[in-house]
Amino acid sequence: MGRNIQVEPLRTVHIEDQAIELVERKGIGHPDSIADGVSESVSRALSRLYLDEYGKILHHNTDETQVVGGASDPKFGGGKVTKPIYMLLVGRATTEVNREKLPINDTAIEAARKYVKATCRHIDIDHDVEFDSKIGAGSVDLRGVFEQQKVLSNDTSFGVGFAPLSDTERLVLESERFLTTKLTKKMDALGEDVKVMGFRQDDAIHLTVAAALVDRAVKDGKEYQSVCDEIRDKLADQATKLTHRNVVIDVNTADDPELGRYYLTVTGCSMEAGDDGSVGRGNRANGIITPCRPMSLEASAGKNPVNHVGKIYNLLGNLIANDIVKETGGNVKEVHVKILSQIGKPVDEPQVASLQILPADGVKLGAVKGKAEAVANSWFDQVDTIPRRLLTDKLTVF
């Protein structure tokens, strides 16, 4: 029996031809992104522990991390964190095998510490953050599903993907990456907690950037404004490489120098002073938040990579969509992919994989239907490679 792969026309105005487009990306130091990153790092650490000990990834889901903001007193020239950030690691895992207890919580906390330290360069991991793990034993029913010979879905859920990215989507995604992975290395005053909101109206794109600045690297309000101007100018230069459209950029629009209000932090992260974070409230599996495109509300980060379709199908949706665009050689304008599972059924046999395709001008759907189905089938055939791709950083989930 073949897979239920359904191909139909995508009856919509192409995203690039719509008058209004909104796109958001929360940076790697944003509290919600930190929650995602910590959850995923814990899942990967447990996966490696299970692989090392037993040769396979055992049941776990660590997708409930909570980041509780601390308190701080930022000042030009240098302030201090007065109350640590609290990170609670929550989830379920296989904690015991053949009566042998596994160091689940110790492994989880070590992974979380390493992730935060590597991501947020101005955080003092021993002073500024308190880690706590309450990961418990998994559900017997779900564990039973997981231990079947054939990998079975642990939930009835769906995943969503689309391709290709629009100009605005790519600009927002790459702008955040430019700020947090490149510009932070050259500007000590720029923290990792940034947010980029993109608004396109016709051919004009407006980026609003919130960038946490590090207090000890800024001596006064005048230098603060100079840093914001430099961020804007460098981002504008970067934008010319990504789009031909006119781009206007605003940085830290909530500032009010007359009231002494600046986006100034001790650590470069807003979670130091009350901003909280939760898994799944930030970027989708493709790295952006896209209200003008199909999305799933599933939190991909932290879910086990073997049978949790809330993770796997969102990753597959994007992989399938991108490959359909690639394999059809310019004959497709836009692809939407929606994949639905059924709990207890094989992961590689979804209830339905819906491929909605907007062909290029002059191209009929029938000309690309066969390739689209072949791409989808190919990815379902290799669904068991998803864990390895994640563990070797070939895939990201936020």
Question: Left (φ > 0), alpha (ψ -120 to 50) or beta: where does 186 sit?
Answer: alpha
Of 96, 101, 27, 39, residue with least CA distance to 299: 39
Domains of the chain and any CATH numbers: 5-12+156-165+281-391 (3.30.300.280), 31-146 (3.30.300.10), 167-278 (3.30.300.340)
Torsion from C-alpha of 299, 2, 359, 362, nearest 10 degrees: 180
How many Å apart are CA 86 and CA 337, to the nearest integer?
38
Helical pair 31-54 and 104-119, crossing angle rounded to 10 deg: 130
pLDDT of residue 140: 46
Task: Find out whether 58 and 198 touch, Cβ atoms under 8 Å.
Answer: no
Question: In the prediction, which pLDDT does 235 show?
Answer: 98
Across the strands, what pairs with 131? 87
Provide CB contacts within 8 A for 192, sequence distance 6+: 27, 28, 29, 119, 120, 121, 180, 184, 212, 268, 269
- Which residues of the chain are under the pLDDT cut of 50? 140
Predicted local confidence at residue 150, as pLDDT: 81
Looking at residue 2, what is its pLDDT?
79
Q: How far apart are alpha carbons 265 and 32 in whole angstroms?
A: 17
SS3 283: coil
User: Contact, 4 vs 380, CB < 8 A?
Assistant: no
Radius of gyration of the chain (CA): 22
Q: Are 199 and 30 in contact (CB under 8 A)?
A: no
Nearest partner of 151 among 306, 314, 379, judged by Cα:
306
The token duo for 356 is 């909605």
395: helix, coil or strand?
coil
Q: CA–CA separation, 122 vs 224, rounded Å?
A: 18
Q: Residues 104-117: pLDDT tens digits?
A: 999 999 999 999 99
